[in-house]
Chain A
């Protein structure tokens, strides 16, 4: 487990270092995720401790968003003034984004499958 956690941190560190050096518009951890995939491709299998650790982390992924979310209290005054515009914009935009992405992807996936 300790080796697996060290591995995740090292991939993240490598990702952050490359983003810091190149200025790519990409978060370090996402690059780290790609490094992990590359590592697994070379290795050909997921080591068991890594499998367990990633399952544990991903099972409670939602918890990890709580601390940043509590930051909402810092902007209480601004949000009290503009909450309606913000809420409507977020809800409508999120709904539209989900529908558009899902429909475009599904249409292309179906077309691809018919072509095969």
Chain B
């Protein structure tokens, strides 16, 4: 019974079709759970999909590279989707221009907080230096974070994981943290999740309120640039 199954699996896993189809199915399962919960932010469709897929790959002994050959088609769309953020940004251009100074100040404060707190806490809890260096750029979007980690001597692929976990936790907790500290302005709420939790924070913000989504996408871009410039300096100070 199991042997023909594994032979079929090995055959299918050699084509991109399986990785691609499984990614969509796993995400639809996660999304169904999210909807069934009444769209509670702590039910993360991304996290559910990753657990389903990770368990499946480990159980069948399928290497990540084999899976990614199919999943890369989904991964690739991150680029055009990021460009597409320009549409809501343009629609809200006047509001963005008016708020230029609060945007710059808020994102800078958040960028410094993100790097310093992550590095100090991880070191205090005994994380290895390689982990710390991969953790430092965790609040920026994946391609920038990987580039920063590589320059610092961390592990780019590990940095991508840190970015992912940060995104999941930011998307799950953002609403509660902002309510707890009394941030009600949609623009400020968007900036906060975009700075702390990059693309996933932006995705959640876009679903809740377009203004928040636009400000999140600005924060995502701005924080990427600021973090790339600030991380080397901050790590020097924290030495």
- The interface residues of chain B lying within 8 Å CB-to-CB of A25 are 144, 147-148, 224-225, 228-229
Please determine whether B174 and A29 come into contact, CB atoms closer than 8 angstroms: no
Answer yes or no: A9 CB below 8 A from chain B CBs: yes
- How many pairs, one residue from A and one from B, have CB atoms within 8 Å of each other in the complex? 327
A17 and B131 alpha carbons, distance in the complex (Å): 31
Interface residue total, chain B, C-beta cutoff 8 A: 111
Answer yes or no: A22 CB below 8 A from chain B CBs: no
Please determine whether B77 and A64 come into contact, CB atoms closer than 8 angstroms: yes
Answer yes or no: A21 CB below 8 A from chain B CBs: no
Please determine whether A102 and B122 come into contact, CB atoms closer than 8 angstroms: no
A101 and B82 alpha carbons, distance in the complex (Å): 22
Interface SS, B side: helix
A110 and B85 alpha carbons, distance in the complex (Å): 26
Please determine whether A68 and B160 come into contact, CB atoms closer than 8 angstroms: yes
Please determine whether B183 and A8 come into contact, CB atoms closer than 8 angstroms: no
Interface SS, A side: helix
Please determine whether A64 and B196 come into contact, CB atoms closer than 8 angstroms: no
Please determine whether B170 and A94 come into contact, CB atoms closer than 8 angstroms: yes
Q: Please report which residues of chain A, range 64-109, place their CB below 8 angstroms from some CB of chain B when the two chains form the complex.
A: 64-76, 78-79, 82, 84-106, 108-109
Please determine whether B67 and A70 come into contact, CB atoms closer than 8 angstroms: yes
A116 and B20 alpha carbons, distance in the complex (Å): 53
Give chain A's interface residue range (CB within 8 Å of chain B): 35 or more
Please determine whether B166 and A94 come into contact, CB atoms closer than 8 angstroms: yes
Q: Which single member of B141, B168, B195 contacts A30 (CB below 8 Å)?
A: B141
Within the complex, the shortest CB–CB distance from B148 to chain A, in Å, comes to: 8
Please determine whether B81 and A61 come into contact, CB atoms closer than 8 angstroms: yes
Please determine whether B74 and A63 come into contact, CB atoms closer than 8 angstroms: yes
Contact with B along A14-33 (1 / 0, CB 8 A): 01000000000111111011
Considering the complex of A and B, which 8 residue pairs feature the smallest CB-CB distances, nearest first? A105-B106, A101-B110, A36-B86, A25-B228, A67-B71, A102-B192, A85-B125, A29-B82
Q: Using a CB–CB distance below 8 Å, which chain B residues touch chain A?
A: 23-24, 26-27, 45-46, 49-50, 53-54, 57-58, 64, 67-68, 71-72, 74-75, 77-91, 93, 98-99, 101-103, 105-107, 109-110, 113-114, 117-118, 121-122, 125-128, 131, 135, 138-139, 141-144, 147-148, 157-158, 160-162, 164-171, 173-174, 177-178, 180-181, 183-185, 187-189, 191-193, 195-197, 199-200, 202-204, 206, 213, 217, 219-221, 224-225, 228-229
